[in-house]
Amino acid sequence: MDAVVYPVNDFGPLMKGLAIGGLGIFHVFTAHFAIGGGMLLCYFQWLAMTGRSKSARAFLDGYFRYLVLISFVTGALTGVGMWFTSIQVSPVTIGLMIDEFHWLWAVEWTFFCLEVVAGYAAFKYGSRLTDKARLILLALYSFAAWMSLFWINGILSFQLTPGAWLESRSLIDAFFNPTFLPSLLYRTVASLVVAALVAMVLINLAGSFSRPEREELVRQAAWLMAPMAAMPLLGIWFLAAMPPDSREWVMGGSMAMTMMLTIAIGASALVGGYALFGLIRNQLYINGATALVLAGLAFAATAGGEFVREGVRKPYTLRELLYSNAIRPDQVAALRQRGLTSIDPFPLRHEDQLPQINGQPHPILRKGGLVFRQQCSVCHTTVGLNSLSGLTKRWDGEMKRQNFAKLQKLKPFMPPFAGTAEELDSLVEYVSWLEQDRPKTWPDPQANPVEYSARLERIRKWLEEAGTEPALVRESKAIAQGGR
């Protein structure tokens, strides 16, 4: 397949991955709550109907249902927001996913429609319906909300573990991929936990309940957290189903990933420990403040977990199929010959701020800016978070040339460089220009043709040595130990 260049947005000092990630974490948390909240309402309706709880009905008619409404509305809005950000960051990834999962996505949306209609009807008319009708409506809402998780989970987990699909190209293999089940179950448990914790905060905040009523409601809500006992196993199952090199990221291969995983595990363990031993086994009471702290920990666990799930895919957005910078592994060799800047029709932002040569924007710096945008900007900024000029500040030109040429060996979570030697050298010039605070004039390296072609020759040799394949974590550790 030939390379195509799409226009992508520039979020300035904010990394693109973080723009998506930040929104994503918020989206996942509210969506989890909307699912678990529905289940909790079903459970309390059943408790009320069967006379198992005297206060459940008051709880059902209280504020919790407003929160469920707010969460599925914000879940929906941030979901649309995810589409808007993803198409600005990686249209190619989204395009491939839509091609592959077209009808499944349509199915997800029909469930989502059902969720919205049933949820709103239960919110608006619930208290006027018979018990049985209310239960059915709440069950319909919860089922629809869980089913939209079911579908989206298959699509998301495919990105990390396409599994047998790589050979068979069958939709069934893509959807029921190796991490489909552990992550579906894990998310279901997480949804219940978030809902139970938020309910506990509300039970405490609502002034209308007496202390014994509050104790009873808290005890009932705590049961929804019992499945947390399965979380460690589900987590291990998920890790075991992950590709080995991704697993190495979180097992010490990358500081950031390992740290985030530790946060996720630590926060979950605190919440789980309190729920299982304090609330369920010893029937302790929990006050609003403690419940709020635990809900905060659950948010931290969600954030850490999502960060890891997104991060361990590097250098891919679709494992083995598409690198994070929208270049396919099978295109790299050809792009080393042809380059990608010549077919990029989109203007460079702030081109007028580049130094000029003969009244035109400096051609090499302009080319370097394009290479940066195409190949690096998805994970790096020019100035700001993870900025290239910051990372290479102490490197001279030659060191940059060599390391950029061997990008995947430098850090295996980066894809191999996919351009010509000239493009690589232009990128080095561009990064050096940024490092020196964008001076008004910049020399033309082509002014000395002999030195310039010798330089390109050296880059070609390094590119050759690096090869066009992605690297493994293990290799890079060996390189680091051998002393680069």
Distance, CA of 382 to CA of 392 (rounded, Å): 11
CB of 35 to ligand HEC, least distance (A): 31
Alpha carbon 427 to chain centroid distance? 28
Distance, CA of 477 to CA of 355 (rounded, Å): 40
Place of tokens 């069950």: 139
Backbone angles phi, psi at 467, to 5 degrees: 75, 180
Which residue among 341, 375, 381, 468 contacts ligand HEC (CB under 6 A)? 375
Q: Which stretch, 32-40, 164-172, 333-341, 372-380, contacts ligand HEC (CB under 6 A)? A: 372-380
Amino acid sitting at position 54: K
Distance, CA of 50 to CA of 45 (rounded, Å): 9
Place of tokens 């894809």: 415
Say what the alpha-carbon torsion angle 90, 91, 93, 96 is, to the nearest 10 degrees.
180
Q: Which stretch, 24-32, 230-238, 286-294, 414-422, contacts ligand HEC (CB under 6 A)? A: 414-422
Does position 325 interact with ligand HEC (CB under 6 A)? The reply is: yes
Does position 111 interact with ligand HEC (CB under 6 A)? The reply is: no
Does position 388 interact with ligand HEC (CB under 6 A)? The reply is: yes
Nearer to ligand HEC, 137 or 322 (CB): 322
CB of 102 to ligand HEC, least distance (A): 27
Does position 413 interact with ligand HEC (CB under 6 A)? The reply is: yes
Distance, CA of 436 to CA of 374 (rounded, Å): 22
Nearer to ligand HEC, 362 or 401 (CB): 401
Distance, CA of 254 to CA of 80 (rounded, Å): 31
Distance, CA of 369 to CA of 364 (rounded, Å): 9
Does position 476 interact with ligand HEC (CB under 6 A)? The reply is: no
Does position 199 interact with ligand HEC (CB under 6 A)? The reply is: no
CB of 371 to ligand HEC, least distance (A): 7
CB of 97 to ligand HEC, least distance (A): 18
Which residue among 65, 380, 401, 409 contacts ligand HEC (CB under 6 A)? 380
Does position 392 interact with ligand HEC (CB under 6 A)? The reply is: yes
CB-based contacts of 424, cutoff 8 Å, min separation 6: 371, 401, 404, 405, 417, 459, 463
CB-based contacts of 238, cutoff 8 Å, min separation 6: 179, 182, 183, 186
Does position 386 interact with ligand HEC (CB under 6 A)? The reply is: yes
Size of the site for ligand HEC (CB under 6 A): 22
Binding to ligand HEC, residues 162-191 (CB under 6 A): none
Name the β-bridge partners of 316.
323
Alpha carbon 210 to chain centroid distance? 43
Q: Which stretch, 147-155, 268-276, 302-310, 377-385, contacts ligand HEC (CB under 6 A)? A: 377-385
Q: Would residue 417 be called left, alpha or beta, if left means φ above 0 and alpha means ψ between -120 and 50 degrees?
A: beta
Does position 324 interact with ligand HEC (CB under 6 A)? The reply is: yes
Does position 39 interact with ligand HEC (CB under 6 A)? The reply is: no
Does position 339 interact with ligand HEC (CB under 6 A)? The reply is: no
Which residue among 39, 318, 410, 459 contacts ligand HEC (CB under 6 A)? 410
CB of 74 to ligand HEC, least distance (A): 29
What residue ranges bind ligand HEC (CB under 6 A)?
Answer: 314-315, 324-325, 375-376, 378-380, 386, 388, 391-392, 403-404, 407, 410-411, 413-415, 417
